[in-house]
Structure 1
Amino acid sequence: MRMALGVGYNGQGYNGWQSQVSGNTIQDKLEAALSRFATERVSTVCAGRTDTGVHGLMQVVHFDTPLDRLPASWVRGTNTFLPPDIAVQWAQAVPDSFHSRGSAIARRYAYVLLQSPVRPSVEAGRVGWVYHPLDGNAMRAAAEHLLGEHDFTSFRASACQAKSPVKTLRQIRITRRDGTQPPRAPCGPHDWSPCYWRFEFEGNAFLHHMIRNIMGCLIAIGQGKQPPEWMRSVRDALSRDAAAPTFSPDGLYFIGPSYDAAWGLPSHAAAYDWLP
């Protein structure tokens, strides 16, 4: 039987998704918990690897098992053996032709950013932070230069193992929330009022550090250090040296993959609901 799981996790204390000798990764913790519940070795394949410090709202994995257990048993049983910052959200039997990575038609990430004169406290590790105010219109204009199919070499980490730097970005959505009730009108680029920004990215696939490198460029533009057109020149340079420094992983969330509805998999989990 092939099972698919939706998994949510806080990535702060882990060395990313992929298994390592240290054992301190999301995959290592999940496979150890699954193996204890199943009383046999379980190996998983994920929809998209996440880096150190990056969070997951609905990572999807699949694995093969001879056991025939109810989906709810896989959820509750596995969660019994997981640390409190990792939890299986749902489980579902899938056909053998399903592949968590290969069957995905899109992947979505969100970056949550605090704009404030004071660094985060309660949200430390869960949001990025900028001191200077941002110009949302400038960042949205810059993001337009990244939509569609492009060679994203300029936003690719040197350790990236992807076979091709050519990816398709379908959407970059940038919104601002200031926390007042009711929310007041969006402010200009020189407003120092604390607020949260949400950057949402959807694409067919992403390179290693691609979003964090794009975030570095968007923030430079939002702070007026570069014009929106600079994003196009960075894109076309095909050189990592042309882009801004890699931004913090703290506010980056893997929202999850998208699949054809024919697979019948959940598109939403409770882990989504708290995110600004």
Structure 2
Amino acid sequence: MPRYALKVEYDGAPFSGWQRQKEHPSVQAAVEAALAKLERDVPSIAAAGRTDAGVHALGQVAHCDLAKDWDPFRLSEALNYHLKPAPVAIVDCAQVDEAFHARFSAVERQYLFRLVSRRAPLVHDRGNAWRVAQELDPDAMQAGADRLIGNHDFTTFRSTMCQADSPVKTLDELRVESLPYPGGTEYRFHVRARSFLHNQVRSFVGTLERVGAGAWTPDDVTAALEARDRAACGPVCPPEGLYLAAVRYPDDPFA
């Protein structure tokens, strides 16, 4: 059966997350329903990451096995037709070797978190960014973020429901970018690692927001990390500002 890699973009607001669930809408179920319009008995698809409810994607990657030898462009066009009106789009498609696996072949995942600091409520970005009313210090947030770079036991920054075998991960990048925003400032957190723990990025951003607001210091971030205790974590921020931005493979299937 030919295997295809799909680059998927979606608005996570109406979904319970990527993973298929019996009683709640999911992105996986939406894509599989579109595939079922093209072929019967399509096996379950696999994705690079199981994003949570409300989390968005700019570059989620999934793979599927089909009976027919599809032209990748025609396959993406057909899927986008059948995905309407769900806020999901196949932005790229490629036929790949049967050894390719969207999850297990990935060597890096990149997340983006959008945080807007302004007094006025968000209008056009409502549901697509986290708004806080207070001003934030980006240099302090970056100083706190620098304490998290490297190989650490991230027990403090993972959900108690996390199913990962080990809390030890290597964080390659946690960079804070400041951008002008009408009536305030947008802070973009760029996060890179081979893999992540459940709620890890949202735990990072919620904690660093406290640093930016002056309630925490960078030393407090170090103390929280070294505590290896979930109770030492700062607030976990809401999901609407989080995006799975990209997934990297040894050989880019979409190149």
The whole-number CA distance in structure 1 between the counterparts of 2:248 and 2:8 is: 14
Give a deviation string over 1:199-246, Cα, whole Å, max 9, x none: 110011111111111111100000000111111111111111001121
Alignment of 1:116 onto 2:118: yes
Query: Is residue 35–residue 42 contact of structure 1 (8 Å, CA) maintained in 2?
Result: no
Structure 2 residue aligned with 1:35 = 36
Shift of 1:23: 4.5
Structure 1 residue aligned with 2:45 = 44
Query: Is residue 4–residue 94 contact of structure 2 (8 Å, CA) maintained in 1?
Result: yes
Q: TM-score, normalised by structure 2?
A: 0.96
Residue identity matched to 2:186:
Y
The whole-number CA distance in structure 2 between the counterparts of 1:206 and 1:141 is: 21
Shift of 1:154: 0.4
Structure 1 residue aligned with 2:12 = 11
Structure 1 residue aligned with 2:193 = 203
The whole-number CA distance in structure 2 between the counterparts of 1:264 and 1:154 is: 33
Query: Is residue 52–residue 249 contact of structure 1 (8 Å, CA) maintained in 2?
Result: yes
Aligned length: 253
Shift of 1:195: 1.3
The whole-number CA distance in structure 2 between the counterparts of 1:264 and 1:48 is: 17
Cα RMSD for the two superposed structures: 1.3
Unaligned segments of structure 2, at least 5 residues: none
Q: Please state whether the residue corresponding to 2:67 is helix, strand or coil.
A: coil
Structure 1 residue aligned with 2:178 = 176
Unaligned segments of structure 1, at least 5 residues: 181-192, 268-276
The whole-number CA distance in structure 2 between the counterparts of 1:84 and 1:73 is: 19
The whole-number CA distance in structure 1 between the counterparts of 2:106 and 2:132 is: 33
Shift of 1:148: 0.7
Structure 2 residue aligned with 1:68 = 69
Query: Is residue 106–residue 248 contact of structure 2 (8 Å, CA) maintained in 1?
Result: yes
Residue identity matched to 1:204:
R
Structure 1 residue aligned with 2:147 = 145
Q: TM-score, normalised by structure 1?
A: 0.89
Alignment of 1:248 onto 2:238: yes
Structure 2 residue aligned with 1:81 = 82
Of residues 206, 209, 213, the one that matches 1:219 is 209
Q: Please state whether the residue corresponding to 2:36 is helix, strand or coil.
A: helix
Structure 2 residue aligned with 1:258 = 248
Shift of 1:248: 0.8
Structure 2 residue aligned with 1:185 = none
Query: Is residue 30–residue 86 contact of structure 2 (8 Å, CA) maintained in 1?
Result: no
Q: Please state whether the residue corresponding to 1:255 is helix, strand or coil.
A: strand
Alignment of 1:229 onto 2:215: no
Residue identity matched to 2:13:
Q
Shift of 1:38: 2.0
